């Protein structure tokens, strides 16, 4: 085993130059584009004169189905067993029109709540988009959820329709149906595609689709009509239901251009499941708005499969998450080196802090840096990002996109909120309200929603700092930040330093109450495969952290763990590490990954 420390490159910057570009990036001059940007221009460009009727699905699908891209592949579906199925924009229009008309035939109308619980199959995409066309409010649910989280979410939303498969229905919903008095229609997609073997009291998806017309549905929707209801990841507590409206589409469009740099010939792959907001905003809406081919992989994470998919499908733009990147890093560079990615030109990541080590790893192993970006279920779209033409400072989330004003705020001694003008000061990350995809409520929690705002500022609950060049650095979630002997310590900084060590695959850092200093820092460390825990390694890690962070910030304790608790979307649940450490109740564990 090698315990050599990799060279420390924390201050290094990845410089971008025109030589590196295969296509000219949309966002060339960050400052000038921000200065001339207005949401009204985006509205004019996307909606034209039809601004009275705004519908995410019609804009995403029908605009291209009616134009020269009608035969272009909109969705390329990879089944778990290796099958490939292409759906063109024209086909997707007629499928989604049919589904909207099928809902209409059941009396399902504007504002009705439609839940979709399915693996990433064609029916999932068709029913989400079709229900949006019908003016319904759509919630895609992660299909690995157990019965309880499914029932709770459907009850909170007052679901009227559920689209699912026979197997999922039997296993997860049938037994709870009496707890769901608003649930009138269950539409079942036959597991074998034939629609046979359908549970009692349900409709057959295939039969409904066959009977429905593929004429454009009559339903209309307004810019401020509710469109999507997404539950947060539950990293810090019980998931909240964030309400989004149809005009969020303006953010999806602008960020697809500036943050993901989508160009018409792209083969784009977003690895997130539509059960999380990333998998809808950027796994369904943004790529279709830009008329690209969007890859949908029904299979689960597997390093070989993912590398093979990137290579064989000739992916050009890839949007993924730190948890997946950590797993690829864990699989070792040899796995990556068995494949070639000559078409890949842009990689982005979201969801958790992206450790600088991951950016350097990607630069070395994949030949391209990963571009971290920041947003939340509540913001509906990417707000702060590293973009193709701008230099990357590994460990930073990048800079606010055009149309986004991000600030650092702090409370003064009197408790009043102050905007921090000077750089390099930690504070809460806030956004000036007014971007189109801002959430419009937490379903059933008005007071909590109101508390997120102060005047025209939205307070994100995340702590960050902005440097003199305007780059934002994630410090931690307000709930996770550790207060020790007068210092505010962000777990991310400590975890990143531990991950610099060659033996460490992942780290989770918490504060433990301490009568003298307030809290002490404890780290849970997961070692790379093949590396055994030992007292010598523990001391070495403590020494490394102390050297890099100083005694005040370095962990006092390090424990080796066999695994760290994650949400199903892959985020480290520090609140569970803490509850377990302190013997406290675990709270809501509905999103905890259980295998
Ligand atoms: P809950 O609100 O239920 O606790 P959650 O905040 O994890 O869950 P999401 O809305 O899915 O739910 O995640 C948004 C949060 O994820 C952000 O507030 C931030 O804490 C974290 N996050 C997202 N992207 C980044 C990033 N690039 N760097 C650091 N943190 C990020
Ligand atoms: Mg949150």
Virtual CA dihedral for 39, 45, 50, 54, nearest 10 degrees?
A: -60
CB 379 less than 6 A from any atom of ligand 1: no
Distance CA(107)–CA(103), nearest Å, equals 7
Q: What is the pLDDT, as a whole number, of residue 485?
A: 84
Return d(Cα 484, Cα 153) in angstroms, integer. 38
State the residue for tokens 């296993």: 171
The protein residue whose alpha carbon is closest to atom 31 in ligand 1 is 352
3-state secondary structure of 404: coil
Residue pLDDT, tens place only, 255-292: 999 999 999 999 999 999 999 999 999 999 999 999 99
- How far from chain centre, in Å, is Cα 76? 20
268 CB burial (10 A radius; 0-12, 13-18, 19+) = buried
Establish whether residue 397 lines the binding site of ligand 1, counting it when its CB lies within 6 angstroms of any ligand atom. yes
- For residue 40, give Cα distances in angstroms to 197, 227, 253, 254, 258: 51, 21, 13, 11, 16
Q: What is d(CA 91, CA 208) in angstroms, rounded to the nearest whole number?
A: 17
**Ligand 1 atom closest to the CA of 276, numbered from 1:** 11
Q: What is the pLDDT of residue 362?
A: 96
Sign of the Cα pseudo-torsion (215, 117, 310, 6, in order): positive
Instruction: State the pLDDT at residue 77.
Output: 98
Please tell me the predicted confidence (pLDDT) of residue 92.
Answer: 98
d(CA 57, CA 94): 12
Q: Which of 140, 243, 374, 496 to mutate to test the pocket of ligand 1 (most atoms within 8 A of CB)?
A: 374
Q: How far apart are CA 128 and CA 100, in angstroms?
A: 10
Do the strands 557-560 and 317-320 form a parallel or antiparallel pair, or are they unpaired?
unpaired
Ligand 2 centroid–CA 462 distance in Å is 8
Q: Which of 550, 551, 573 lies closest to 561, judged by CA? A: 573
Of 100, 88, 95, the residue nearest 55 (C-alpha): 100
Angle at 204 between CA 111 and CA 184, to 5 degrees: 40
Q: Which of 149, 231, 233 has most ligand 1 atoms within 8 Å of CB, for mutation?
A: 233
Classify residue 216 by its DSSP letter: P
Q: 127 near 139, Cβ under 8 Å? A: no
CB under 8 Å to 569, separation ≥6 — which residues? Answer: 142, 233, 272, 273, 276, 321, 323, 351, 591
CB 555 within 8 A of CB 518: no
> Encoding tokens for residue 247?
């005009």
- Is the minimum distance from the CB of 322 to ligand 1 under 6 angstroms? no
Bridge partners of 566, per DSSP, are: 572
Q: To which H or E segment does residue 327 belong?
A: helix 322-331
**The pLDDT of residue 146:** 87
Give the per-residue pLDDT at 330: 87
3-state secondary structure 220-261: CCCCCCEEEEEECCCCCCCCCEEEEEHHHHHHHHHHHHHCCC
Q: Atom 13 (ligand 1): residue with closest C-alpha? A: 376
Which residue CA neighbors atom 3 of ligand 1 most closely?
Answer: 234
pLDDT at 1: 32
Ligand 1 lined by 235 (C-beta under 6 Å)? yes
Q: What is the residue-level pLDDT of the chain in tens, covering all 595 positions?
A: 333 334 445 568 999 999 889 999 999 999 999 999 999 999 999 998 766 789 999 999 999 999 999 999 999 999 998 899 999 999 999 999 999 999 999 999 999 999 999 999 999 999 999 999 999 999 999 998 889 889 999 999 999 999 999 999 999 999 999 999 999 999 999 865 454 578 989 999 999 999 999 999 999 999 999 999 999 988 888 889 999 999 999 999 999 999 999 999 999 999 999 999 999 999 999 999 999 999 999 999 999 999 999 999 999 999 999 999 999 998 889 999 999 999 999 999 999 999 999 999 999 999 999 999 999 999 999 999 999 999 999 999 999 999 999 999 999 999 899 999 999 999 999 999 999 999 999 999 999 999 999 999 999 999 999 999 999 999 999 989 898 888 889 899 899 999 999 999 999 999 999 988 899 999 999 999 899 999 999 999 999 999 998 888 999 999 999 999 999 888 999 999 999 999 999 999 999 998 6
For residue 547, report the distance from its CA to the centre of ligand 2, in Å. 33
Q: Which of 510, 81, 589, 566 is nearest to 326 (CA)?
A: 566
- State whether the beta carbon of 195 lies less than 6 angstroms from ligand 1: no
Q: By the 8 A CB rule, do 448 and 240 touch?
A: yes
Residues lining ligand 2 (ion), CB within 5 A?
232
pLDDT at 488: 83
Residue with tokens 């995340």: 462
Break the chain down into helix, strand, coil percent, rounded to 5: 30, 25, 45
Binding site membership of 278 for ligand 1 (Cβ less than 6 Å):
no
> Residue 9: its pLDDT value, please?
55
Q: Please work out whether the CB of residue 372 comes within 6 Å of at least one atom of ligand 1.
A: yes
Q: Which ligand is nearest to the CA of 567?
A: 1
pTM over 0.85: yes
- Nearest CA to 187 out of 213, 212, 214, 206 is that of 206
Give the pLDDT confidence of 457-489 residue by residue, as tens digits: 999 999 999 999 999 999 999 989 898 888 889
**What was the pLDDT predicted at 8?**
44
Q: For residue 375, report the distance from its CA to the centre of ligand 1, in Å.
A: 7
Question: 3-class secondary structure for 538-595?
Answer: HHHHHHHHHHHHCCCCCCCEEEECCCCCEECCCCECHHHHHHHHHCCCCCCCCCECCC
With H, G, I as helix, E, B as strand and everything else as coil, classify residue 203: strand
């Amino acid at each position: 085993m090698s315990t050599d420390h990799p060279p420390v490159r924390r201050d290094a910057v990845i410089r971008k130059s025109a030589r590196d570009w295969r296509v000219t990036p949309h966002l060339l001059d960050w400052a000038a584009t921000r200065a001339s940007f207005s949401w009204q221009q985006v509205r004019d460009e996307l909606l034209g004169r039809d601004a009275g009727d705004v519908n995410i699905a019609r804009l995403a699908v029908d605009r291209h189905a009616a134009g020269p891209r009608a035969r272009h592949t909109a969705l390329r579906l990879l089944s778990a067993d290796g099958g490939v199925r292409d759906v063109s924009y024209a086909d997707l229009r007629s499928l989604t029109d049919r589904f909207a008309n099928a809902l209409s035939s059941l009396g399902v109308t504007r504002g009705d709540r439609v839940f979709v619980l399915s693996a990433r199959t064609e029916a999932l995409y068709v029913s989400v988009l079709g229900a949006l066309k019908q003016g319904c409010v759509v919630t895609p649910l992660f299909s690995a959820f157990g019965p309880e989280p499914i029932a709770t979410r459907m009850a909170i939303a007052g679901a009227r329709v559920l689209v699912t498969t026979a197997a999922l229905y039997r296993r997860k919903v049938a037994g709870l149906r009496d707890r769901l008095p608003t649930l009138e229609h269950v539409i079942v997609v036959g597991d074998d595609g034939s629609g046979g073997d359908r549970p009692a009291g349900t409709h057959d998806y295939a039969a409904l689709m066959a009977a429905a017309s593929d004429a454009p549905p009559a339903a209309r929707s307004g810019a401020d009509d509710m469109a999507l209801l997404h539950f947060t990841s539950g990293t810090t507590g019980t998931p909240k239901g964030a309400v989004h409206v149809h005009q969020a589409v303006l953010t999806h469009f602008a960020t697809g251009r500036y943050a993901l740099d989508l160009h018409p010939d792209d083969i784009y792959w977003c690895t997130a499941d539509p059960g999380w907001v990333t998998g809808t905003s950027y796994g369904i809406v943004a790529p279709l708005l830009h008329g690209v081919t969007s890859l949908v992989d029904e299979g689960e994470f597997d390093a070989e499969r993912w590398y093979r998919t990137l290579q064989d499908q000739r992916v050009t733009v890839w949007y993924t998450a730190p948890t997946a990147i950590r797993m690829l890093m864990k699989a070792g560079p040899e796995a990556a080196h068995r494949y070639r990615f000559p078409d890949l030109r842009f990689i982005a990541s979201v969801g958790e802090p992206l450790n600088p080590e991951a950016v350097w790893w990607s630069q070395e192993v994949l030949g391209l840096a990963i571009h971290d970006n920041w947003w939340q279920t509540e913001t509906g779209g990417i707000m702060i990002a590293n973009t193709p033409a701008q230099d990357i400072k590994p460990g930073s989330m990048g800079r606010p996109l055009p149309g986004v004003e991000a600030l650092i705020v702090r409370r003064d001694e009197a408790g009043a909120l102050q905007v921090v003008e000077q750089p390099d000061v930690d504070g809460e990350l806030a956004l000036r309200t007014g971007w189109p995809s801002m959430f419009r409520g937490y379903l059933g929690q008005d007071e909590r929603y109101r508390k997120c705002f102060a005047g025209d500022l939205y307070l994100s609950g995340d702590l960050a700092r902005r440097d003199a060049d305007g780059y934002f650095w994630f410090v931690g979630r307000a709930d996770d930040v550790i207060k020790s002997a007068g210092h505010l310590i962000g777990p991310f900084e400590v975890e990143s330093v531990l991950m610099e060590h060659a033996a460490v695959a992942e780290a989770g850092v918490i504060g433990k109450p301490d009568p003298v200093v307030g809290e002490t820092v404890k780290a849970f460390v997961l070692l790379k495969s093949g590396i055994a825990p030992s007292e010598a390694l523990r001391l070495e890690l403590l020494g490394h952290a102390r050297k890099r962070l100083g005694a005040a910030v370095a962990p006092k304790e390090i424990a080796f763990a066999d695994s760290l608790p994650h949400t199903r979307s892959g985020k480290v649940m520090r609140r569970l590490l803490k509850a377990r450490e302190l013997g406290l109740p675990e709270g809501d564990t509905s999103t905890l990954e259980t295998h």
